[in-house]
Chain A
Amino acid sequence: MDLPVVEKRLIRTQEKLAAMETLLEDKSRDLFLANEEIQKTNDFLNNVIGSMQSCLIVTNAEGTIQIINEATVELLGYDRTELVGQLLSLVGTEDKGVNLLSNMDSLAATKSLVRQEIQYKAKEGAEIPVLFSSSAMHDAEGRLTGIVCVALDLSNHKLLERQLLLSEKMASIGQLAAGVAHEINNPMGFIFSNLSNLGEYVDDITALLGVYEKLENAIRSAKVEGLQDELDELEDNKKRIEIDYLMEDIRDLIQESCGGAERVQNIVLNLKEFSHSGRDEKSLANLNDGLESTISIVWNELKYKVTLDKEYGDIPNILCFPQEINQVFMNLLVNAGHAIEDSGEIKVRTYEEREYVCIDIADTGKGMSPEIQRRIFEPFFTTKDVGEGTGLGLSMGYQIIVDKHGGQLIVESTEGSGTTFTIKLPK
């Protein structure tokens, strides 16, 4: 006999409940596994984003920052929580009054393959050049949901570009100097030689004039008839040209000219030393010579306010890039000169210290604050007025001494009393 309808339905409802329970358990397990998968995917994506060298910023459609990666945090100096939730324009700078990062339409329209150079603004206000690209995210209906911004820090690239430019410039100047030195050297050779000969000729002429004078005196004493007019004319001419002074001065002039020519020859020699060839490989060089030739190049700039104290130690020749070391000497000497406002002293000293050859360049100038000392080796950092310094001299010096030669470049400075730079180069 059939069970009553209600009972049948009740039994089926209980069966349904049991089936639902089983299904719920299955679904719960599926959900757990799915969550695990999501977590794995999430971790993987976070790893990818976190290990990106490029800076990633993802915004919503209104330009509010939703996601940033570690590279962005490091580059801009913000804490993650300070950026997420802020408008993207916060990290942009104005170019001709326009902040590209505040214009969502333009960012959304930019194709991801179009990259442009813009400046990011760091927390401390520094402008950082980046290669920027953006791409728009849309939902299934084509509505803008956000912008993905990827930026590559160009600071190092720019620095290398500037350094390359500067070193090319220095190389050109070196080449030019070497060329000029060579051209001057030849005529200076015969000028110097001619002046020496001229001195000897003057000696001969002076001796001859002495004989003539004796003859003149003899004629006067003999009172030879008919020669009085010629003797008077001779006397007038001697007085007119001040023959005694002239003969004395002509020697001085030749001597001075010889001295001048010698100096020109020295300058030419120093120029040749400064623009020493063989830039691509190290050569054995004596740093005392390099320092001396560099001093003579920059001396003209220093001589009016600086007294120079040189203390060259007996140092061995070292394997180095002499032209580049000379360039560092020049930067340090010029900086020392700039640090001295009215008058002061620069002391250069060379000595050996264990496995190093050391060079101190010390000035009695205005010195530097600890804040400035901390930053002097940063590229583009300068305390000089715009246009007066590139801010690359010391950073390049650091590169040359530390990176290229495995040496040390140490600064000690006291505000108001002076600065000492110590270069230590391995023997």
Chain B
Amino acid sequence: MKGVIFNMLEEFVIEVSDEETFEEIYEECEFVSQGPFIGPGTYPDEDFLQMANKAIAKLGIAPADALRAFGKWSFPKLAEKVPPSFVDFEHPKDFLLTVERVIHAEVRKLYTNANPPRFEFEDPEPNKLIIYYISERQLHDFMDGLIEGVGEHFKTEISTTRECLQRDGHSVWKYHLTFAEGN
């Protein structure tokens, strides 16, 4: 997991509680990695999950709700960090269709040890999109929040349903997205 997500989680926790709470969470964690998390670094997924679970426990929020809220909160922050052309689209569908090919491809190019999720797409109708979310991390709740964040960023309501499929013994999440008309 990239350090930028760790730092965003820190920022999120401080925003919904305070610095002291975050420091408590941080000190309770027994991280595999040494040293602080910095944006461009890549760290073990378990360090992130540990920090996220500790935060969820400390804040007393349901895990799914917490990850969704974190995802929704994260999207505009992430959008600010990438070159403007990466998010310069009229419609969220056009943006989503480029995430795998542009953003994830660039991440893999810049950080050889990075392991971003993999997205596959089906484009059944103009106002619909099917996304297959494939990741060992199984952060589908975080993904839910990110999609909500995308809808807000592009000012288009996106209704989402998802189902869990099995592929080669792994869970793959199939997202059915419907974009509100008029945008």
7 other A-B residue contacts (CB within 8 Å) besides A5-B23, A23-B40, A23-B41: A5-B19, A16-B37, A16-B38, A19-B36, A19-B41, A20-B38, A140-B101
B35 within 8 A of A: yes
Chain B, residue nearest A13 (CB): B36
- Contact status B38-A5, CB under 8 Å: no
A314 within 8 A of B: no
- Contact status A19-B19, CB under 8 Å: no
Contacting residues, chain B, for A23 (C-beta < 8 A): 38, 40-41
11 A-B interface contacts by CB (under 8 A):
A5-B23, A6-B19, A8-B23, A9-B19, A15-B35, A16-B37, A19-B38, A19-B41, A20-B38, A27-B40, A140-B101
Contacting residues, chain A, for B37 (C-beta < 8 A): 16
Contact flags B35-70 to A (C-beta < 8 A → 1, else 0): 111101100000000000000000000000000000
- Contact status B20-A19, CB under 8 Å: no
A12 within 8 A of B: yes
Closest CB in chain A relative to B12 CB, distance in Å: 16
Alpha-carbon distance between A6 and B20 when the two chains are bound, in angstroms:
9
B69-103 with Cβ < 8 A to chain A: 101
Alpha-carbon distance between A19 and B42 when the two chains are bound, in angstroms:
12
- Contact status B36-A5, CB under 8 Å: no
Alpha-carbon distance between A365 and B37 when the two chains are bound, in angstroms:
95
Contact flags A1-40 to B (C-beta < 8 A → 1, else 0): 0000110110010011001100100010000000000000
B94-147 with Cβ < 8 A to chain A: 101
- Contact status B35-A5, CB under 8 Å: no
Contacting residues, chain A, for B41 (C-beta < 8 A): 19, 23
A99-145 with Cβ < 8 A to chain B: 140
Q: Is the interface of A mostly helix, strand, loop or mixed?
A: helix
Alpha-carbon distance between A425 and B38 when the two chains are bound, in angstroms:
85
Contacting residues, chain B, for A27 (C-beta < 8 A): 40
Contacting residues, chain A, for B19 (C-beta < 8 A): 5-6, 9
A18-69 with Cβ < 8 A to chain B: 19-20, 23, 27
Contacting residues, chain A, for B20 (C-beta < 8 A): 5
Alpha-carbon distance between A15 and B36 when the two chains are bound, in angstroms:
6
Alpha-carbon distance between A126 and B40 when the two chains are bound, in angstroms:
59
A-side interface size class: 10 to 19
B-side interface size class: 10 to 19
Sorted nearest first, the 5 A-B pairs with minimum C-beta distance are A16-B36, A15-B36, A19-B38, A5-B20, A12-B36
Closest CB in chain B relative to A137 CB, distance in Å: 18
Chain A, residue nearest B112 (CB): A30
Alpha-carbon distance between A16 and B38 when the two chains are bound, in angstroms:
6
* Given A5-B20, A9-B19, residue A19 in contact with residue B101 (CB < 8 A): no
Alpha-carbon distance between A23 and B110 when the two chains are bound, in angstroms:
13
Chain A, residue nearest B14 (CB): A9
Chain B, residue nearest A20 (CB): B38
Closest CB in chain B relative to A2 CB, distance in Å: 8
- Contact status A19-B23, CB under 8 Å: no
Closest CB in chain A relative to B173 CB, distance in Å: 25
Closest CB in chain B relative to A7 CB, distance in Å: 10
Alpha-carbon distance between A158 and B37 when the two chains are bound, in angstroms:
70
Closest CB in chain A relative to B40 CB, distance in Å: 6
- Contact status B38-A9, CB under 8 Å: no
Contacting residues, chain A, for B35 (C-beta < 8 A): 15, 19
Closest CB in chain A relative to B45 CB, distance in Å: 19
Closest CB in chain B relative to A354 CB, distance in Å: 73
Contacting residues, chain B, for A15 (C-beta < 8 A): 35-36
Residue from the set B19, B37, B38 with the largest chain A CB neighbour count within 10 Å: B38
Closest CB in chain A relative to B91 CB, distance in Å: 15
Alpha-carbon distance between A140 and B101 when the two chains are bound, in angstroms:
9
Contacting residues, chain B, for A5 (C-beta < 8 A): 19-20, 23
Closest CB in chain B relative to A203 CB, distance in Å: 112
Chain B, residue nearest A15 (CB): B36
Alpha-carbon distance between A8 and B38 when the two chains are bound, in angstroms:
16
Closest CB in chain A relative to B109 CB, distance in Å: 11
Alpha-carbon distance between A27 and B40 when the two chains are bound, in angstroms:
10
Alpha-carbon distance between A6 and B37 when the two chains are bound, in angstroms:
18
Closest CB in chain A relative to B14 CB, distance in Å: 10
B10-36 with Cβ < 8 A to chain A: 19-20, 23, 35-36
Contacting residues, chain B, for A16 (C-beta < 8 A): 36-38
Contact flags A66-95 to B (C-beta < 8 A → 1, else 0): 000000000000000000000000000000
Contacting residues, chain A, for B101 (C-beta < 8 A): 140
Chain A, residue nearest B101 (CB): A140
Alpha-carbon distance between A12 and B19 when the two chains are bound, in angstroms:
13
Alpha-carbon distance between A20 and B20 when the two chains are bound, in angstroms:
24
Closest CB in chain B relative to A165 CB, distance in Å: 56
Residue from the set A8, A19, A27 with the largest chain B CB neighbour count within 10 Å: A19
Closest CB in chain B relative to A3 CB, distance in Å: 10
Alpha-carbon distance between A70 and B138 when the two chains are bound, in angstroms:
56
Alpha-carbon distance between A27 and B37 when the two chains are bound, in angstroms:
17
Contacting residues, chain B, for A9 (C-beta < 8 A): 19, 23
Alpha-carbon distance between A16 and B10 when the two chains are bound, in angstroms:
14
Chain B, residue nearest A3 (CB): B23
Closest CB in chain A relative to B94 CB, distance in Å: 10
Alpha-carbon distance between A382 and B67 when the two chains are bound, in angstroms:
86
Contacting residues, chain A, for B40 (C-beta < 8 A): 23, 27
Closest CB in chain A relative to B92 CB, distance in Å: 17
Alpha-carbon distance between A91 and B76 when the two chains are bound, in angstroms:
51
Closest CB in chain B relative to A145 CB, distance in Å: 16
Closest CB in chain A relative to B36 CB, distance in Å: 4
Contacting residues, chain A, for B38 (C-beta < 8 A): 16, 19-20, 23
